[in-house]
Each structure stands twice: as C-alpha cells, then as structure tokens.
Amino acid sequence: MKLLTILLACFLISTGIYAENGHNLWLRAKSSVPVEVTCAKKSPTIDIAINELKNGWQGKTGQTIELKVIKDKLLKEDGFRLSKDGIQATTDAGLLYGAYEMLRRQYTGQEIRNELINPDYNLRMLNHWDNLNGSVERGYAGRSIFWHGIDSLQVTSGDLKLWKEYARTNASVGINGTVLNNVNASPSVLTTPVLERAKAVADELRPYGIKTYLAVNFASPEVIGGLETADPLDPEVKAWWNEKVKEIYDLIPDFGGFLVKANSEGQPGPQNFGRTHADGANMMAEALEPYNGIVMWRAFVYDPSDEDRAKQAYNEFMPLDGQFHDNVIIQVKNGPIDFQPREPFSPLFGAMKKTTVMPELQITMEYLGQSVHLVFLGTMWEEFLKSETWQEGAGSTVARCTDGSIFNQKYSAIAGVANIGLDDNWCGHDFAQANWYAFGRQAWDHSISSAQIAEEWIKLTFGPDSFNDKEITPEIEWNLAFVEPVKNMMLESREATVNYMMPLGLHHIFSAHAHYGPGPWWAPPGMRKDWTPPYYHQADSLGIGFDRTAAGSNAISQYHEPLATQLSNVNVCPESLLLWFHHLPWDYQMKNGRSLWDEMCYRYDAGVKQVRNFQQVWDRTERFVDPERFAAVQHKLTEQSMNALEWKDACLLYFQQFSKLPIPYELERPMHTMDELLKRDRQRVRASQ
C-alpha cells in the first residue's frame, strides 16, 4: 500500500497534477507576464515586494514599476501611495503592503489609480491561543504551527518554510503583529530555550513587516524566577521583569511586547497581592518602555458573584481610566459576554476616554460551529465596528472610538483570535479562510464593506484555473453562476447561524460539550450560575430573556445616551437584541404582529431553511470548483444542516415546556424528541471528558 502511494505521488508530480487542498489560501499561484520593478533602496522586505510583483504581475507586459521610499507627512506608518506606475511609502513595509494591494486589484478587476492608502489601526495583530505542548485552545484546524512541545524546541526546515508561508499570508492582508502563544500562558514561555525558538519565529516574520509578541503569566517571577512574590510594587519583582525584558530584546530586537490575561478565570494577577490592574500593567509597561514595547492587558475579567456578568468588565476598568501608562492598551472583547453569535458592543468602547482601548475579535469560531459551520464573520465585524456609541455625539462609532480619530492616543490597535493550525488548509474549513482574510482587510480599513471583502476572497481563492468544466466562459458564467450566489451565501451565513442558534438576543445557551451544539437545559448542581445557559435565557412560565433594564440588572445604564434610553424602551430596542436586554412574556407582540413565541419558532425554522439553501447553492457550483474543495465544503454543509435542525428542535422543545404553546402548524415538525436530544448531549459531554 505504501509503495502504491509513493508511485501515485510520483505520477502526480511528474504530470503536474496536484490536489487542491487549500494550503495556498487566497495566494494561489497564477501565470504572470513580464514586468520591470525598480527600487533604489535594498532590504529583505523590498526584495520580497519586488519578487511578489514579478511573480504575480497581471498588468501590461513589460511595464516598469518603481518602488520608492519617501518622506510624506500624510502617510502613516505602513501607508503607501499607489499609482499605475509605482508605489511610494515611508517604510519598506509600506512598499510591501502596496505591492500586495496592486496585485489584489489586478486579480479582482479593481481599478489601480493615484491614491493615498493608510491603515486605520497601526497595530493589526493575531492572537494565537497555542500552548507549548502543541495543542491549541479553541483551535479547530489541527495543532500549533509554532509549538510542538517543551522537549521539541529545535527548529526544523519544515518549521521555517511554514512560518514564512504564514508571514506572507498575513502581510498580504496587512497584519503586522502576532502573539505566539495562549493568553492562558505557561510561565515556561519566558524560559531561555522557549525564547530562542520565539526568536527563530521572529526572524522569519520580520522581513514581512510582522512583529512578534508573547502572552505571559503574571506569576512568572514566582514560578520560574524563584521569587517569593509577584507583587507588581515589589522592587525585586520589578527588577526580575526588567532583566527578563532585556533578555528578550537581546534575542528579538524588534519584539512587540506582552499580552496579559490577569485575575481572570483562575489566572494570577495583581489583585492576588491587593494591587489594581493598573499597578500590574504599568509595572510591565515600565520594563518595556525603553524598547518601545507595549502591554496589551485583557479586560475579560469577571467574578462568581450575583452581579450581571455583562456589567463586570466595565465596573472593573472604568474606575481605572487615566491611570494606565501610555504604552498600555486595554484589550476588550467585542461584546460584554464572550464572542457570542450576536452581542451588543461592550460599553467600555468609547467610555474609557483617557486609556487606549483595542477591540478583540474571535476569528476561530468557538461559539459559531467551529470548523464545521460555514459562517462568514465579515458581516458581524462590520456591524460591530459601525455600532454607534454616542460617546462624543453622533458618529462616535466603535471604530472611530478605537482608531485614534476621536481620542488622542499613542497607539491604535485591533486583535483577532486566530483560527490557524497545521491542517493542510490552515483553518479546518475552506470558507473559514475568508475570516482570516476579512480580519486583515477590516483591520486595515474598517470602512470597507463585508460584501467587497467576500467578493475579493472568492475571486482570489477560486478561479478559472480550478474549474471542473473547462468549457466555461469565465467572465460571463463565473460571475453570474458562482461569484454572486456564493457571495450572497457568505453574506447571509452569520444571520442564518443566529437564527438557528440564538435569535432575538438569546445568548450563551450552548451545550457543556466544548461550546458546540444546543444545551439550554444545562445547569448541573453546584455549577456557577454564570456558566450555565439558564442564567442567560431566564426562561420561565412568564416569558424569556435577561432583564438588563433599571428594573433588572441595569446593565443598560453603562451605555451612553440616547442609546441607553433606546435600549431600555422595549418598543424601540432593536428586535435583534430584544431578549438580551428584556425579559418578555411569551405572548408579547412583535412588530410583524406575531407573538414572541411564534416569532422564535419562525426564526429557528428560517435558520434551518437558510442552511439547506446553502447546500443547494454549493451543489450548483460543482463545475466551477476543483473536486477536492468542492467535496470538502459539501460535506461540511451537510453536517451543518443536521446541526441546525438539532438546534431548532432542542431549543423549541425545551422552551415549549415553559411557553406551553404550540409550534405553528405551517412550520416543519421537530425531528427529534427531548429524550433523544438529552441523551445525545450526555454522550457528547462524556466523550469530551
């Protein structure tokens, strides 16, 4: 069998036939035409830019393109001026980003014109939740690309090749920073052998304009330093961090800084010693400041208390506004709970006016079907970034409150929790690649539409060279029969997922099985209430939803006026967030005239139908897609369709026990019973233990 495999591989190589496994992402090789690229300056980064243009040029044959480093006060760091004849930038990295922009426009049919293009955020980074043993927390695409185990720190040629491919992919969408390890950080990450491997990664990323960062454990001075305390005000602790930071910069001169999860979900932090988050963050910031390093301090902090979990990060950090050093950035999840399919934006955005705040988005789909469901997150992030905070009047969107255009701050930053692993296609699902792409594009330009991003990704990722049917006329049939329907499917996919999982503002009603599958009933004895779904849906005989008005937890008061009043008024609160902010009776009348119960039934049913339609859309694309990727996506959609039906049946049958109302007869009857669903859930939980 092994001999046959080798012979088959040799045949495929000799004939030039390769299976399309998605490894090349949106950077699939294309035939190019000759181009002359010149630049007076030389550097590894500029060499990459020149080679990319030469290897991928789709423009006029024999054209001369000039790359030039200039002084220009209108250009931000990493920004560039684009024209038909060249690229100008103030940095080498700016020239590289300009090269990728020029090629992207050629590949997608967009116009190349004289234009100044600046990034909206100057720090655009991925957070990898990779552990040193090679596992990935909330990773659904295989093991870590950086770590293989504490006893496997030697760097191989395969590592170097993979890291270079990773760096190129990030640079192509403007990502310029990477946190190499999990926010639930092992203290061992700061030991010398691990730092030397981090140096090897940094050396591969540097030519592509990418800085390396590390997540660190606050108790490191005790655990690996031998000190008796990690108190941030203790002189010995400060000295230990100063020495450790110096060691890091001796290895990695352009090291970016630290990401810290402290006093959250059991992680140690300054509060262990009676100190504040500001005390802890500022101590690290002082150690990093001589090297222009930064501290990204996560605001994902909550306690097992009777206080509404949605309020706790705001209550924890707002009193500290103005107490952080200017190289400290507070990293805030997009919503106040935890990367739910739909959340309102966290009220910390815009409220902290004296402290730099950066959004944290989750690219890996922990709560959205992981690597099984097709969910394009560009629409979700567009909704979030364009949300109006009203902190400085109309136009104070989340994006403008964090990009430096409203508040005077030294840095502007945005982070995405990566969905990358050792799977051949990097992301576990071919369409999950679109979310990596979308994050980079929106981090660079938060005004870009998710529709444009989806169309770009489709045209870059698929194309005439992958057609099964070679008789297709690409410019006519491809756009009408492939690009448009697939784009529409992507743009609808997040709303479809909300419909079949948690419509109308329902949230966090997942099974105990790794946040996958429905579990609105899950509440084992002794479990923290805020870790159980009933805490969030509050279903009873009177109705459903979490009352966050003044009559309830009053979480609404953390939002600025007039938004707070709007959310408080059940008649004007967006129906998409209705049950996030209100506990309403089952017979509450919706704007379309249906009762709340009937509307829930229709939303769940609509989600199932939407996914079934996705299956039909994809089935009709077979002649436009290589067999490998077509079959892989088809298989995933089949599983997603079955999951959507399970979500619908589980939630409606469970909530029906409280509503005592019938499912409208024009809708499809449940295919499962409650007993079947509970048994399946118990089996999943046992299998995950």
Strand order in the sheet with 80-83: 35-39, 63-69, 86-89, 80-83, 115-117
Query: Which entry of 279, 366, 382, 495 is annotated as an active-site residue?
Result: 366
H/E segment holding residue 236? helix 235-251
Looking up tokens 């097709």 gives 374
| Residue 343 is a catalytic residue | no
With contact defined as beta carbons under 8 Å apart, do 519 and 533 qualify?
Answer: yes
CA distance 423 to 448: 30
CA distance 592 to 525: 40
| 340 conformational bin, left if phi > 0, alpha if psi -120 to 50, beta if neither | beta
Q: Which of 326, 507, 330, 318 is nearest to 415 (CA)?
A: 330
Q: How far is CA 32 from CA 106, 107, 113, 386, 458, in A?
A: 11, 11, 21, 38, 20
Both ends of the chain: CA-CA distance in Å? 36
CA distance 77 to 609: 47
H/E segment holding residue 658? helix 627-659
Burial of 323 (0-12, 13-18, 19+ CB in 10 A): middle
Strands of 196-243, DSSP E: 211-216
Local structure of residue 280 (DSSP, 8 states) = H
* Cα three-residue angle 209-203-125, rounded to 5 degrees: 40
CB neighbour burial string for 285-322, b if at least 16 within 10 angstroms, e if fewer = bbbbbebebbbbbbbbbbeeeeebbbbbbbebbeebbe
CA distance 368 to 377: 10
With contact defined as beta carbons under 8 Å apart, do 364 and 324 qualify?
Answer: no
Both tokens assigned to 622:
């077979």
Neighbours of 250 (CB within 10 A): 11
Query: Which entry of 77, 85, 250, 265 is annotated as an active-site residue?
Result: 265
Query: Which entry of 286, 338, 388, 676 is annotated as an active-site residue?
Result: 338
Backbone angles phi, psi at 290, to 5 degrees: -60, -20
Q: Which of 512, 507, 575, 490 is nearest to 546 (CA)?
A: 507
Both tokens assigned to 439:
């994050």
| Residue 646 is a catalytic residue | no
**Structure-derived torsion over alpha carbons of residues 315, 317, 320, 321, reported in degrees to the nearest 10:** -110
Backbone angles phi, psi at 344, to 5 degrees: -70, 160
| Residue 366 is a catalytic residue | yes
Task: Determine the residue type at 665.
Answer: Y
Q: Which of 418, 415, 419, 422 is nearest to 146 (CA)?
A: 422
Local structure of residue 130 (DSSP, 8 states) = B
Q: Which of 13, 26, 16 is nearest to 425 (CA)?
A: 26
Task: Determine the residue type at 410.
Answer: K
For 564-630, give the secondary structure using H, E and C.
Answer: HHHHHCCCCCCHHHHHHHCCEECCCECCCCCEHHHHHHHHHHHHHHHHHHHHHHHHCCHHHCCHHHH
Per the omega criterion (within 30 degrees of 0), is the bond before 562 cis? Answer: yes
Report the catalytic residues. Answer: 265, 338, 366
